[in-house]
Copies of this chain bind each other. A is one copy, B any other.
Amino acid sequence: MAVVPEAGPATGYPVFAVTADLVVLTVREGALQVLLIRRGLEPYLGAWALPGGFVRGAEDLDAAARRELVEETGLTAPLGHLEQLASYGAPGRDPRGRVVTVAYLALVPDLPAPVAGGDAAGADWVALPAVGELAFDHARILADGVERARAKLEYTALATAFCPPEFTITELREVYEAVWGARLDPRNFHRKVTGTPGFVEPVGRSVAAERGRPAQLFRRGAAQLLHPPMLRPAP
């Protein structure tokens, strides 16, 4: 039942199928969550898996990832962040044959619940501690993506990719706390964020929360990298 042949036509080059799989992370309800689909086809029928699909014939890898992201989340705006994570191609990772997957990491703001499309029988956000078994080697890919996200919050301004266009410092801090799984001092965090040039820029308006003093609104600044970085608290 090999979908993918094991050798090319004339030469001895092995032949592969290439997929783009996505680790789509968001922060919902104070927790880091990942977008998973329930597989509607064999193999791993009915199992949870990362969204993704085959790269098309005239398509770049990044374009395939972006297309899958739009199909699964509807997110096409300048919001969010998409970067290549890593590639996985162990010989036995897909029972259909030799499949190399190029994994991408997407960080998106809190979006409406996804709709199942394509080969998926269902799609939903799942909080990280609640993620169980995944199809293929997707558990490993997910772990790599989460670790990449945790590390990148330290030395880049990517945390704003989890936020809507305008946000408060507290919302930004809750992103860090959810991704890192650690509590941060609100006063020191406020000083660090507002004191780093280009991290965030004040909008000028304030918004009242449910309780307490209204908070200023900010939007993302021009800075990509944080100098000096914001280091996670020691474990």
Contact = CB atoms under 8 A, between A and B. Distances in A.
A203 interface: no
A57 interface: yes
Given A10-B3, A17-B8, A229-B229, A55 B102 contact: no
Contact of A5 (B9, B14, B102): B9
Task: Tell me if A's interface is mostly helix, strand, loop or mixed.
Answer: loop
A52 to B, nearest CB: 13
A90 to B, nearest CB: 5
A152 to B, nearest CB: 12
A87 B102 CA distance: 7
A227 interface: yes
A3 B3 CA distance: 19
A224 to B, nearest CB: 12
Interface string A6-20: 111111011111100
A4 B16 CA distance: 10
**Chain A, interface residues (CB within 8 Å), range:** 35 or more
Interface string A200-235: 000000000000000000000000000111010010
A234 B228 CA distance: 11
Interface stretch (A58-66, A73-81, A124-132, A180-188): A58-66
Nearest to A83: B86
* Most chain B beta-carbon contacts within 10 A, residue among A8, A59, A234: A8
Nearest to A10: B3
Contacts of A4: 8, 13, 15
Nearest to A227: B231
A136 interface: no
Contacts of A229: 229
A84 B60 CA distance: 19
Interface string A79-98: 00000101111110000001
Given A5-B9, A16-B17, A61-B88, 4 more contacts: A3-B10, A6-B57, A14-B18, A60-B91
6 contacts: A13-B17, A15-B17, A16-B18, A84-B87, A227-B231, A227-B234
